[in-house]
Amino acid sequence: MHEIGIANSVLDASVAECARRSGVKLTRIGVRIGVLAGVDIEALRFAFEALTKDTELEQVGIEIQSCPRRNRCLDCEEEFVSELYTEPCPKCASEHVILTGGEELDLAFIEVEEP
């Protein structure tokens, strides 16, 4: 279950950022995950909760945003959301499309409480 490693990395990055800001308390973490990233969102949420249970981070919340697969047409430059790998452009029907999103795995934000 690689979601434990992802949750641990998210926590490490968030705690490191808070350490750079003297005296702040981490309250919430936001993560952006693309549908093609191969991450089970519920397993990630479970891993996050397991890693923070009975620690000083137990009250930290996690917000997970799922990002759809996005394509761009190479002929007309239309950008569109698609659930299929081979979906033609909805504007011009061209099949010359490329993937532009859906593989994200980003730390979107951290929310802190000032002293």
Going along the chain from its start, the domains and CATH numbers come out as: 3-69+101-113 (3.30.2320.50)
Residue 6 has pLDDT above 80, yes or no: yes
pLDDT at 1: 58
Give every CB contact of residue 32 below 8 A, 6+ residues apart in sequence.
65, 67, 104, 105, 106, 108
Closest CA to 26 of 13, 35, 39, 37: 13
**Model confidence over 19-39: pLDDT tens digits?**
998 889 999 999 999 999 999
Q: Average of pLDDT values for 1-29? A: 93
Predicted TM-score (pTM) of this structure: 0.85
